[in-house]
Amino acid sequence: MQMEQTKAAPAFSDLAPSVILDAVEALGLTVDGRLLELNSFENRVYQVGIEDDDPIIAKFYRNGRWSDAQIREEHTFTLACHALDLPVVPPLIIGDDTLHEHAGYRLSLSPRRGGQAPPMDDPEAHVLIGRFLGRLHNVGAAQRFQYRPAITLASFGYEPRAQVLDSGILPDHLATAYQTLTDDLLAMVATRLESIPAATIRIHGDFHPGNVLWRDDCVHVVDFDDARTGPAIQDLWMFLPGERTEQEQALHPLLAGYTVFRDFDPAELALIEPLRSLRLVHYGGWLARRHNEPAFCRAFPWFTEARWWEDHVLTLREQLAALQEPSLDWRPY
């Protein structure tokens, strides 16, 4: 469930360049006028030039998505990882705080880190990423989130499904197929989740290759904005690309690195397809929830087209079949 913040904020459409630069200067930095908008849809993220220093990243938080307490809890998690020399990008502490306000907007600043997407076909890269995740999950298991929610069947399944059905975007000829298909899909996911009571910890929550910056055989992990409570496998399965054979080839080096620092329960492998199913349903609901925003209309002009929804329903049908396949196999050495 998306949580409401405690204070109202102006719309992102009013976030003019002058407001962004003034917000950074109000935190004690001298800007040089350079401003580059970075790819982000939930929040607004900018690279801001600083006089006589490296640029910094300014992140302005979406109104109504996270409360102040939830944002600070994410920051605390990231800072705890950084304190143990994990290659994460934490927010800057300015005036004893990481979350700030300017002109009604909430924001944080962080160092800029560069890099490319990791080489997904390199087993050594999977070993390195696995080691990082093992260390990250050791930090995640040390405490519990108090304010951030967990990955649940309701928040990632039934609620986004309802948003699609209530949005009016779904073409009439697909409405019944989508409803009955997601009925079956989520019922099967529920059964699987109940049969495998995996331990839950603090996790990154959105650990896909786009959030890993690869440079000189080193990684920097960014964007803990979706950090929440969930099973360890949620941070692992998105690095298993392609068909089953390719997934198994990537799984072994990934877990070889992971288990250097932390044990892994093989039973969690049976959660990969249920979690993938929830992510697919959640994605449709996310787009339905944001479809009236100008930034989304520009980025996803195909979203209201019947062809996209036909493909989405087909993907969900294929996912229903995938849920009935045996889970990936791995045994520790």
| Res. 165: pLDDT tops 50 | yes
Whether residue 147 is found in the same domain as residue 21: no
Summarised one tens digit per residue, pLDDT across range 80-119 is 999 999 999 999 999 999 999 999 999 999 999 888 888 8
DSSP 277-316: HHHHHHHHHHHHHHTTSHHHHHH-TTTTSHHHHHHHHHHH
Average pLDDT over residues 177-196: 96
Mean pLDDT of the chain: 92
Summarised one tens digit per residue, pLDDT across range 113-147 is 888 888 888 899 999 999 999 999 999 999 999 99
Residue 243 counted as domain residue? yes
Average pLDDT over residues 50-61: 96
**pLDDT band for position 236 (cuts 50, 70, 90):** very high
Residue 151 counted as domain residue? yes
Whether residue 76 is found in the same domain as residue 127: no
**pLDDT band for position 7 (cuts 50, 70, 90):** low
Q: List the domain range (segments joined by +) for residue 75.
A: 12-111
Active site residues: 206, 223
CB 163 within 8 A of CB 289: yes
CA 87 to the chain's CA centroid: 17
Whether residue 307 is found in the same domain as residue 261: yes
Amino acid sitting at position 123:
P
Whether residue 179 is found in the same domain as residue 92: no
- Structural domain count of the chain: 2
pLDDT above 70 coverage of the chain, percent: 97
Instruction: Give percent helix, percent strand, percent coil of the chain, each to the nearest 5.
Output: 50, 15, 35
Measured distance CA(153)–CA(54) in Å, rounded? 43
Measured distance CA(300)–CA(201) in Å, rounded? 33
Q: Report the predicted TM-score, pTM, of the whole model to 2 decimal places.
A: 0.91
Residue 9: both structure tokens together = 């904020």
